[in-house]
Amino acid sequence: MKYRNATKLSLIAILVSTAMQANAGITVIDNEKGSFSIGGDVEFDFNYMNFDSTSEDWQFDQTGRILLNFAGERVTDDNNYLKMQVSPTYNQSGSIGLDDAWFAFGKQKGPEIRIGRFESYDMFPLGQDTFIDHSGDTSDGLISDSGAYIYRAKEARGRSTDGQIMYSQTFNQVYFELNALLGDRSSLFGSTYHGKTVESGDDAFVIRPVIAYTQDSFTIAASVERNLTSDAVTANGVDIMERTGYGLRTSYNINDINIHANFAYMDAVDETNATAGINVLYKGFGLGYVYARNEYTNEQFSGWYEGDVDVSTIYTSYHFTNVMDVEDFSIYTGAFQSKAEEKNVKSGAGTYANGDNDIGLRVRFKYIF
């Protein structure tokens, strides 16, 4: 009996090892009760950059992480299903993070409810964004008095530190989702907003409906994001979660060409943020441009910057595939240049690093297993 069990374990080990060498990800369990798989990727970067706002010297460093992905699914005879996914990350710095952790249930070709931590529909895709550095790259901690805001219609996209729930469904060529974030949303801001201390209030309930229409190779999508509660986050007694964002995305994908054109607009307390972007990917080569216009006033907060800030960012990258004839092993090269410029200044000149010119170069090593 012990011999047979040992033989079975050895056989399983050989099969798992073979699967890991041959494919990206392995299926551990696949039977009448459902399936369970393990996958992930390794990603390490060498960065060479110059940020005028922090240093006049070029900086050279290395960053990276390993991501593991555990996924499970069960489908019933009447096409109902349950799904789960958890994706912890192990960073080079020694810290442990988390990308996704969610549970979903629904019906195939029908509605789905998803709960947990995840990203919903991308309303401002950057294409092959190997290296871009400007405000607005993550779902939390986006807004800071130390830099202009690159709004990309993703404040309620997800991966929040608090609760999240989403309904989604596809109707032929139309996709619809309604995502909601709930809880403390003060992490969206830095410690101050227009020079006033940020304070947590009542829990927020931010909704983000998205509707997308796809015809052949063309997709167009629109979204709105808005908090439905009052005084969720305040500064000097003013409700700074009184803000509404809008997004518009168009995409065209055919053969080796992928094109995205995006626009986002935020109407917030004492400021408006408008961002437009376009990017193209062709046979591993990517090129993109993002332009943002921020207009600041002193209507509810006095003594802060008043005027406009323009931010222009151009970026490019190239993807080398199957390096050393190893499937799923890639090397990316990327570069960006971003410049901020103050205009029509009425007060607070120099607040947003006028003339700030940031440059970065990156080589990324990535393997999907």
For 60-118, how does the pLDDT look when each residue is reduced to its tens digit (9 = 90+)?
A: 999 999 999 999 999 999 999 999 999 999 999 999 999 999 999 999 999 999 999 99
Beta carbons within 10 angstroms of residue 271's beta carbon: 24
Q: Is 323 left (phi over 0), alpha (psi -120 to 50) or beta?
A: beta
How many other C-beta atoms are found inside a 10 Å radius of the C-beta of residue 268?
20
Residue 275 contacts by C-beta under 8 Å, 6 or more apart in sequence?
124, 150, 151, 152, 262, 263, 264, 265, 290, 291, 292, 293
Residue in 72, 79, 76, 77 with CA at minimum distance from that of residue 107: 79
> pLDDT digit of tens for each residue in the chain (369 aa)?
444 444 343 433 433 444 444 445 788 888 888 999 999 999 999 999 987 655 567 889 999 999 999 999 999 999 999 999 999 999 999 999 999 999 999 999 999 999 999 999 999 999 998 888 764 444 445 788 878 889 999 999 998 888 999 999 999 999 999 999 999 988 888 889 999 999 998 899 999 999 999 999 999 999 999 999 999 999 999 999 999 999 999 999 999 999 999 999 999 999 999 999 999 999 999 999 999 999 999 999 998 999 999 999 999 999 999 999 999 999 999 999 999 899 999 998 888 876 678 899 999 999 998
Say which residue the tokens 């805001």 belong to: 149
Using the structure block, give the residue that is written with the tokens 């290296």: 131
Predicted model pTM: 0.88
Interatomic CA distance for residues 232 and 189, integer angstroms: 12
